[in-house]
Amino acid sequence: MNIFEFCERYHISLAKARRIAKDNPAWFSGTSSVFDHIRASLANGDRLTAQQLVELLEQPSGLLELGKYAGKAERELSALGKPLAAPREVVANIMEAAKGEPDALQILVNWLKSIIGDKPANHAFIAVRLLLGIPEGIRKYEGPRIPRALLNARNHPEFAGWWRVEKQGARNSTVYQKIMLDL
């Protein structure tokens, strides 16, 4: 039994189970899949990260491993629609956009305006598309730059009004939506 199955079976928090595992490593098998982490996130009531959503998109059979949490994961996946990978030109400029380079930010802002629709979209809607455009071998290097690149894009003057911060539960969440002009 791995640590995530232990938490679920005995209704123990992950933090407490990790302390138990530290004292009794023989109790747990060291093997845990990415889907165990996804199940733990869903069991905790958290939303899935963009990386976790990409894992589920690329390996849809992983939904079977989520057990009773598969429905929650499917709802989060359906909120994404049919995500298409970001164009190479956009993906190639993530590092520069994270640094605040004006040309790279302009490319990112133009792409964001083209994919954001009338319905509100959360951060994962955009981040999943960017992650899908990044080759799998370098996602762990480029992926952490996406939040900074999006922050810089939100601060870009041409992107004003295309996003807002809303209170969702106990957290603030960034919501992207196409500007509705009063004519």
The per-residue pLDDT for 30 is: 64
Whether residue 162 is contained in a domain is answered as yes
If asked whether residues 71 and 119 sit together in one domain, one would say no
Tokens representing residue 105 in the block:
């930010």
Which residues touch 64 (CB under 8 Å, ≥6 apart)? 70
The angle subtended at Cα 115 by Cα 112 and Cα 120, nearest 5°, is 95
The per-residue pLDDT for 182 is: 44
What is the residue whose two structure tokens read 């959503």?
Answer: 53
The per-residue pLDDT for 180 is: 61
Compute the distance between CA of residue 124 and CA of residue 85 in angstroms, rounded to an integer: 13
* The model's pTM: 0.79
If asked whether residues 166 and 107 sit together in one domain, one would say yes
If asked whether residues 124 and 72 sit together in one domain, one would say no
Whether residue 183 is contained in a domain is answered as no
Whether residue 99 is contained in a domain is answered as yes
What is the residue whose two structure tokens read 């640094």?
Answer: 99
Q: How many domains does the chain have?
A: 2
Compute the distance between CA of residue 28 and CA of residue 91 in angstroms, rounded to an integer: 40
Which of 21, 51, 79 is where one domain is finished? 79
Name the packing angle between helices 146-154 and 123-133 (round to 10°): 130
Whether residue 181 is contained in a domain is answered as no
Whether residue 155 is contained in a domain is answered as yes
Residue 141 domain boundaries: 88-176
Question: Could you list the mean pLDDT of each consecutive 10-residue stretch along the chain, which spans 183 residues?
Answer: 78 84 75 78 85 91 86 90 89 95 96 91 92 91 93 94 87 85 46
Burial of 102 (0-12, 13-18, 19+ CB in 10 A): exposed
If asked whether residues 92 and 143 sit together in one domain, one would say yes
Burial of 33 (0-12, 13-18, 19+ CB in 10 A): middle
Residue 181 CA, chain-centre distance (Å), reads 30
The per-residue pLDDT for 26 is: 73
Which of 19, 50, 79 is where one domain is finished? 79
